[in-house]
Structure 1
Amino acid sequence: MSEENGFSFTLFQPHRTRTPKNDEPVIEVRPNGRIVFNKKATQLLENNHFCMLGYDPEKQALGILPMEQLQPNTFPVRYAAKGAYIGAKKFFKHFEILPGQLVEDTPFKSGEFIGINL
């Protein structure tokens, strides 16, 4: 329509386009040992209030296995308005994989596990 009048408008489109964070699941691993799920990633937990944690040293990935009930070595999942989190400092220290800075990634499913690359 604009070309009929002799105009060819270029739309303003900023160089960096960011999708809103809530559009896709994101899990953060923080230097304080906290694993934080955004609202979309929280759905992967399926309202379970506990989880087991695993580590794959070859692929440098964290595995989160949601559990319905408290069992030995489970970690509690804390739900909040904007998502959920797991306090897992002992886990990261045990494997000596506590990140020095924030790690943020899109989770993946591997069997019953929710995985994230570290």
Structure 2
Amino acid sequence: MEYSFTLFEPHKERSSKLIEPRIELRPNGRIVFNKLATELLNNSPFCMIGYDQETRTVGLLPLGEQNVNSFPIRYATKGAYVGAKKFFKHFDILPEQLIENNPFASGDFIGIKL
């Protein structure tokens, strides 16, 4: 008599952690940097945020001091984030679902495609 056993494997294999900078644009209006992407901010406490409508790209300009229209950058152990819901609503580009991309440099800006 032959048997066909199914192995007990409740845990999935862990994927290796990302080793590249990633930025998330979240539906709650937060721009979230992973630990590697946080290094691009150079420990700046504030940033200005811009939008290129033609290319549907968001650009963050890290600042050393507060400006009237700047956003504070909040740092945490696993990265950083910017609460930018007003920015997204102003341009009517608040993402309906999570967008995650690799950042790129454009002059002094850190860019991310929508």
Structure-1 separation of matches of 2:67 and 2:53: 24
Structure-2 separation of matches of 1:71 and 1:60: 25
Out of 93, 96, 101, the position equivalent to 1:97 is 93
Structure 2 counterpart of 1:62: 58
Counterparts of 1:26-65 in structure 2 under 5 Å?
Answer: 26-65=22-61
Task: Give me the TM-score of the superposition, normalised by structure 1.
Answer: 0.83
SS of the residue 1:51 aligns to: strand
SS of the residue 2:38 aligns to: helix
Structure-2 separation of matches of 1:61 and 1:116: 6
User: Tell me, which stretches of 5 or more residues in structure 1 are unaligned?
Assistant: 1-17
SS of the residue 1:97 aligns to: coil
User: Tell me, which stretches of 5 or more residues in structure 2 are unaligned?
Assistant: 1-14
Deviations 1:18-43 (A, max 9, x none): 6522x100000000000000000000
Structure 2 counterpart of 1:115: 111
Indicate the RMSD between aligned Cα atoms, in angstroms. 0.8
Structure-2 separation of matches of 1:45 and 1:19: 25
Structure-1 separation of matches of 2:98 and 2:45: 24
Task: Give me the TM-score of the superposition, normalised by structure 2.
Answer: 0.86
Higher helix share: 1
Structure 1 counterpart of 2:7: none
Structure-2 separation of matches of 1:19 and 1:57: 35
Structure 1 runs, 4 residues or longer, greater than 3 Å off:
none
